[in-house]
Amino acid sequence: MPAPMTSRRTPSDLPVRYQCVAELTTRAKPDPRVMAWFRSTARPNRFLSVITVAEIEAGVAAAPDPVRQARYAQALAAVRHEFLDRIAPIGEPEAAAFLTIHKTLKAAGTSIDPPDTLIAATALANGWTVATRNIKHLARTGALVVNPWEQHM
């Protein structure tokens, strides 16, 4: 069983969103800015949320043809192997952060999709920065965010 995520908290830890994973694993030529960002981060500091894994699984299932679905399934297997002990679960601290974010955004009339809220909650509960292309929604949660597509090379 993997070690609890709380044993590794550092401000430089990054939950990586599915867009980054897809860019790095399924594109013939990944965006050079994303590649540069990925190489600039230390492997032990990169995490996936269990929610990101579910988003990738949904993408595999939705692939329009069996060949692409098989390729995506292979990429998912490689990602699971790469992040084997760095897939962050949803526990009590993350659930409490989710509730706080949800209530705050709902009261402001600016709710976001539950998966985004859960990923932000995971980051907030662990003191992490989220690597995502979806800055617009996640920044409203109070989580620190970085967009690898906007990084300077």
Instruction: Give mean pLDDT, residues 44-72.
Output: 92
> pLDDT tens digits for 66-120?
999 999 999 999 999 999 999 999 999 999 999 999 999 999 999 999 999 999 9
Contacts of 96 (CB under 8 A, 6+ apart): 125
Q: DSSP label at 28? A: S
Residue in 16, 3, 7 with CA at minimum distance from that of residue 46: 16
Asked if 117 and 104 touch (Cβ cutoff 8 Å), the reply is no
- Average pLDDT on 44-49 reads 90
What does DSSP assign to residue 147? -
> Of 151 and 40, which is predicted with more confidence?
40
Classify residue 20 by burial, with Cβ atoms within 10 Å: 0-12, 13-18, 19+.
buried
CB 45 within 8 A of CB 10: yes
Instruction: Match 């297997």 to its residue by tokens.
Output: 77
Average pLDDT, the chain: 87
Res 12: pLDDT? 53
Q: Which domains does the chain show, CATH number per domain?
A: 15-150 (3.40.50.1010)
pTM: 0.84
Rounded distance, CA 82 to CA 43, Å? 9
Site of tokens 């860019």: 23
Which of the four pLDDT bands, split at 50, 70 and 90, describes residue 8?
Answer: very low
